[in-house]
Amino acid sequence: MFKGISALAIYVTDMDRAIKFYTETLGFEIPIKIHPNLCFLKFKNSNLHIYLEGGKKSSAIDVDTGRLSFFLEPEKTVSEVYATLKAKNVKLLQEAPELVQDDIACFQFQDPDGNIIEVSGKP
């Protein structure tokens, strides 16, 4: 029925704040900006786009409620990414990355609107 996912939508309250976070903190690029409250983000070597739409109302999100989260594949170790985000004062949801298999660790953090993002990769 489907052959893949082309974009993942993230709804935010403040578009400028979200763009700054996703580009400056996480390293996304903006290949397409449609208007002030709508743009697409992507990484250089990825076909998946993030559809970022601003001007939305926020709602409570935490690790115990239903949510859509997505995984980022780190270029460095998960521990290095964790330390980098901690130094940038990103809201981390664990005290440290969790080892889920011998060679895979993960952790979660939130964007400025509380959307949950997960990092998974080599410890």
Both tokens assigned to 101: 């298999």
d(CA 44, CA 26) in angstroms, rounded, equals 12
Residue 1 pLDDT: 87
Domains and CATH numbers, the chain: 1-58 (3.10.180.10), 68-123 (3.10.180.10)
User: Percent of the chain at pLDDT above 90?
Assistant: 55
Residue 63 pLDDT: 61
What's the distance, Cα to Cα, between the start and end of the chain in Å?
Answer: 36
d(CA 41, CA 19) in angstroms, rounded, equals 9
10 Å CB burial of residue 34 (0-12, 13-18, 19+) is exposed
